Amino acid sequence: MQEQANSVEQLLPHLFRQEYTKMTAVLCRHFGMKYIEIAEDIASDTFLKASENWAINGIPKNPAAWLYTVAKNKTKDHFKRAAIFENQVRNELIKGKLQEEQHFEFDSQQIADSQLAMIFAVCNPANSAEAQICLALQILCGFSVEEIANAFLAKPETIKKRLLRARANLRNDSFQLINLTEADIKSRIETVLKTLYLVFNEGYFSKTNDQLIRKDLCSEAVRLALVLLENPLTNTPKSNALLALMCYQSSRLDARISHTGEAIAYGQQDSRLWDQSLIDRGNYYLINAFDGPEISKYHLEAGIAYWHSTPADETKWQHILQLYDQLMITAYSPIIALNRTFALAKVHGYEKAISEAEKLDMNDSNYYHQLLGYLYADKDVEKAIHHYRLAIKMTRSKVEQQTLMKEIKRLSPSDQIYRNKGKQF
């Protein structure tokens, strides 16, 4: 009995993560975005019932099917109640219309279509990019407010408020989920790709130390990108480029954090820890991404990630620098400017890179000081340490602080000898 309860405890969170958002998407497509809360209530009730029932009766043979049957019945009940309500009192009270559908199935096509529609509904340009990521994590990925707050290193209250405002915008939007038209897709695909890109980056460059959350964010972004590729209307070269980028980056997820939780810089990573199957998939999607004349920033970033996933090659950094040059012109961002300077150092030497870096003049950025610290390390230890110290002051990430402290320690051996000598005297 105890054992049964344990396995329910293990299985449910997993199923919840996998099925809750799909269930909500399908229900929402029936009810309309306006009634997203009803859809979420039914989905939550379903899982509640599962946790009670399975602990006593054991896990059914096909847990997902069990969940969908319950959800379907609960939805029918809801419609029944709603119909009574509509016939008897509604006309006096509510103007909005609750649609009843005769055919209501949770088949795989229905789920796929609903999920895709939900992605487009959530990526509403009326919301800020930050709010969109939060919404995507909650509605599309089934993250709790606490988990989202943890990923952003923000207070749960802040996230809750942000979500409330963003959800109000969704409800007021006339976006309809039943038939996702080509026009809908065209008008929102950019926002969708950007949101998925940001969700992935939130995981990949996360401020949180929680390795599990980081991986979850990355794999959820990949899952949603795969949903895009399943539909011919959204299986575009750009979507492929984005997915290729995610695959390459994911291949290094395990190599970039040490077992003690420290970040490992690209140059120091053990390339045997890179996941070759993900690199291969990246290659596959990258080839598909060039099925057309368009070169987007996702193409360029995927190209850079491709070279980073390839074993050392003499011309590697030259290619990377060229891609950064193009990326710079396509889509400026301070981080890209810094990364480009790093590539420039590899191609044209540190001296040249230092003078280019100092022209950037980003004194408020901890990455700027990290880069200068790195570039000065062999040339002028004092300056290197000065920049690393500034970087430590500016970053909120414990992992980064630890890594930089270690670097300072490594750079100041002479200092230590001097101190030891002092003791002897």
Partner 1 sequence: MKEFALIFRINDINFKPSPEQMQERMSWLAGIVAQNKLVDKGNTLLPIPGSAVTVHANNVTTDGPYTEIKEFISGYIIVKTETIEEAVELAKSNPIFKIGGNIEVRELLKT
What's the Cα-to-Cα distance from 365 to each of 78, 120, 253, 347, 420, rounded to whole Å? 53, 34, 24, 24, 35
Number of residues that bind partner 1 (CB under 8 A): 17
184 binds partner 1 (CB under 8 A): no
We find the least distance from the C-beta atom of residue 286 to partner 1, in angstroms, to be 21
What percent of the residues of the chain are helix, what percent strand, and what percent coil, each to the nearest 5? 75, 0, 25
Q: Which is nearer to partner 1, 167 or 340 (by Cβ)?
A: 340
Q: Is 350 one of the binding residues for partner 1 (CB under 8 A)?
A: no
Rule CB under 8 A: say whether 307 interacts with partner 1.
no
- Dihedrals φ, ψ of 257, to 5°? -125, 130
Distance CA 29, CA 234 (A): 19
With CB under 8 A as the contact rule, the residue among 329, 363, 396, 424 that binds partner 1 is: 329
- CA atoms of 257 and 212, how far apart (whole Å): 12
Which range in 252-260, 352-360, 363-371, 384-392 contacts partner 1 by CB under 8 A?
352-360
Q: In sequence order, which residues have a C-beta less than 8 Å from that of residue 299 and are 6 or more positions away?
A: 237, 238, 241, 289, 290
How far apart, in Å, do the first and last CA atoms of the chain sit?
71
Which one of 39, 43, 321, 391 is in contact with partner 1 (CB under 8 A)? 321
Smallest gap from residue 315 Cβ to partner 1 (A): 12
295 forms part of the interface with partner 1 (CB under 8 A): no
Distance CA 179, CA 177 (A): 6
Element of type H or E holding 54 = helix 36-57
Closest approach, Cβ 245 to partner 1, in A, equals 20
| DSSP single-letter state for residue 421 | H
Residue 321 or 345 with smaller CB distance to partner 1: 321
Q: Which of 260, 267, 272, 332 binds partner 1 (CB under 8 A)?
A: 332
Reported as type and span, the H/E element at residue 161 is helix 156-172
Q: What is the DSSP string of 56-124?
A: HH---SSHHHHHHHHHHHHHHHHHHHHHHHIIIIIHHH--S-----S-----HHHHHHHHHHHHHHHS-
Using the contact rule CB under 8 A, the part of the chain among 112-120, 126-134, 300-308, 331-339 near partner 1 is 331-339
CB closer to partner 1 out of 332 and 425 = 332
- Which of 356, 381, 394, 401 lies at the binding interface for partner 1 (CB under 8 A)? 356
Q: What is the dihedral of CA 121, 124, 127, 129, to 10 degrees?
A: 100
233 binds partner 1 (CB under 8 A): no
Least distance between partner 1 and beta carbon 365 (Å): 12
Nearest approach in angstroms of CB 325 to partner 1 is 4
Classified as helix, coil or strand, 141 is coil
Q: Establish if 324 lies at the interface with partner 1 (CB under 8 A).
A: yes
Identify the residue whose tokens are 């480029």: 241
Residue 4 in the binding site for partner 1 (CB under 8 A): no
Q: Which of residues 359-388 bind partner 1 (CB under 8 A)?
A: 359-361
Select 196 or 337, whichever has its Cβ closest to partner 1.
337
When asked if residue 328 is in the footprint of partner 1 (CB under 8 A), the reply is yes
Bridge partners for 257 per DSSP: 263
Query: Is the CB of 134 or the CB of 337 nearer to partner 1?
Result: 337
- Least distance from C-beta 360 to partner 1, angstroms? 6
Q: Find the shortest distance in angstroms from Cβ 327 to partner 1.
A: 8
CA dist 280 and 334 (Å) reads 30
Half-sphere exposure of 81 (CA within 13 A, CB side): 6
In whole angstroms, the minimum distance from the beta carbon of 185 to partner 1 comes to: 29
From 10, 14, 70, select the one nearest 44 (Cα to Cα).
Answer: 70
User: Which residues are at the interface with partner 1 (CB under 8 A)?
Assistant: 321-322, 324-326, 328-329, 332, 334, 336-337, 340-341, 356, 359-361
